Every structure is written in C-alpha cells, then in structure tokens.
Amino acid sequence: MGELPQMGLVIALALVAAYLFALAAHLQRRGSQEVMAGARTSVQESAGAKHLLQGLPANRTWQWGVLANFGAFGFQAAALAVGTVATVQPLIATQLLFVLALASLQRHRWPAVRDGLSAVAVCGGIALLLSTEGRMGLAGHPDRPRIILTLVCVLGVIVVLVAVSRRSPSWLAGMLLGTGTGLFQAMSAGFMKLALRDYAHRGLADMLTDWPLYAVPISVLGGVVLGQLAFASGTLPPAVAAMSVTNPVASLAFALFAFEVFPREPLLLAQIAASAVIIAVGIIGLATADSTREYLTE
C-alpha cells in the first residue's frame, strides 16, 4: 500500500474510532447520571463510588455506551495496526469535533464563532502534526526498559491524581480524574501498538507470551473506571478537556520516548510542540463550549 493511501486509511479508521468514543462518552455520562440520581453521597466518597460502580453494569444506557466503546477500540486497533501511536492518538482527540457537530445538528443551529475557531485550531494542529509523519524517527525498536520505567512513573502519577481528587472540589476532581483517564487511554494505545508489533514481526505465539497484550485490557479497565468517576463528578467540561488533551499529548510523549530513535532536529521539535499546543487550545475551547456542555450533560 502506498504512503498516501495508507495515511488515508489511518485517518479514516481513527476518525470512526473518535466518533464512537464521542458517542460512548455521551451514553456513559447519561448512564452515570441515571445511576447516581437520588443518591445521598457523591462519587468522591467511597460509598458513592461503590454505588456508581455497582449500578453501572445493570444500566441499559451505560451498556450501549460500552458497546460503542468496544467498537471504538476495534477501529483504534485497526488504525494502530497500520499507523503510529503519534499519528493515531491526536486523531482520536477529534471526538469533541463530533460532539460539537452532533450538538449543532440536534439544536438545528450553527456553532458559535468561538466554537468554530476551536474546531479550526484542532484541525490545524492535527494537520501540522501529521506533516511531521516520517520525520519523527518512530521506526526504531521499542526500548523495553524505558517503557517499563515510563509505566511505573505514570502509575505513580495516577495514584496521586486519584488521591488528590478525593479532597478536591468537584470541578478540580473531574479534571484530575480526566487526566488520569487520559493517561490510561494513552498507555492502552501504546500497549496495543506493541502487541500488534509483536504479531507483525514475530507471530501470534510470541504475541501471546509477551506482556503488552495483557497490559491492554488492564489499562483499558483502569481508564473506564476513572472515566466513569470523572463523568459522575458533576462538572463535565474540565473532565472532558483534561481527558481529551492528556490522551494525545501523553501518547505522543510515549511514542517519542519508547523508541530508540528520538528526533533532535530543532525545527521538527518546534513543529511537534506547536501542534500539541494548538490542539490543546482547540480541545479546551471545544470542551468548555456551551453547546458541548449542554449536549454532554443532557
């Protein structure tokens, strides 16, 4: 497959995954609200978190959200099979563009100028990042010791985020839990890519005996649990913004750190940094838009 058709396939698969992730977030948010309706405790308390996690599996809306999530992970895995983590994960962050489009369609009105500019920023940042494809040096061999060191550090950060969120106001708790969710999502994408690489280079038997394959469901489960707690925190925009920004940024950092060849060209590094900032600004704008907030909290 040629370079351009392959890139087109990666973009198409990642965008379908992004749409399904957006749909899943909406359904899971509604399911969390239904479970917590009338509850006397918040999810920041142990009793409230237990009530939420016990009630979600029986909630039909949440179940549909889980199915949408499975579909999203399937398309994400297909995209990662032919593309790099650094390319796929920023495209996954476009899920907020689909939220904005769905909200505008549902209300039969065009997005506000501010929301449109945020969408343009996300698209422009992703286009800038995709233009670095092939120059980032991600074709080297994964450095397993570095990956394990990164995993230990990230898990430590997540533990701290969860601990601090239990003693924080709802808006900050949602942001902290959303950040933890984004870190789990980035790790799951990285592990998925490593497992697929095992299969492509060494075959099914080696993939089944290597740890990245089994780290995928664990990191996905961690992201689902923290995501539900973030959705039920009561303040959605900070949670969604933190989740959506952390995922692509952490994925890019993971991809750059995990491979033996690291880009050192100043112009390339500046381009990568600029694209990350532009995408983050656009995502924050979309996550805090009135139409996005109204749609996600219905």
Q: Average pLDDT of the chain?
A: 79
Can you give the pLDDT at residue 180?
93
Mean of pLDDT values over 138-161? 83
Express each pLDDT in 125-136 by its tens digit.
Answer: 877 777 776 555
C-alpha span between 252 and 87 (Å, rounded) = 8
From its phi and psi, is residue 234 left (phi > 0), alpha (psi between -120 and 50) or beta?
Answer: left
Q: Residue 157's pLDDT band (boundaries 50, 70, 90)?
A: very high
State the amino acid at position 146 in one-letter form: R
Half-sphere exposure of 234 (CA within 13 A, CB side): 16
In tens, the pLDDT along 21-43 reads: 888 877 877 787 787 776 666 65
Angle, helices 236-258 vs 170-202, to 10°: value is 30
Asked whether residue 296 carries a pLDDT value surpassing 70, the answer given is no
What predicted TM-score, i.e. pTM, was given to this entire model? 0.73
- Give the residue, 133 or 275, on which the prediction is more confident: 275
Residues 6+ apart with CB under 8 A from 190: 85, 147, 251, 254, 255, 258
Residue with more model confidence, 258 or 77: 77
pLDDT band with cut points at 50, 70 and 90 for residue 243: confident
> What local confidence, expressed as pLDDT, does residue 291 receive?
65
- pLDDT-based confidence at residue 297 (cuts at 50, 70, 90): low
DSSP string, 65-78: HHHHHHHHHHHHHH
Helix, strand, coil % over all residues of the chain, rounded to 5: 80, 0, 20
Q: Tell me if 236 sits within 8 A of 198, measured CB to CB.
A: no
Residues 6+ apart with CB under 8 A from 14: 75, 76, 79, 83, 87, 88, 91, 92
The count of other CB atoms within 10 Å of the CB of residue 61 is: 17
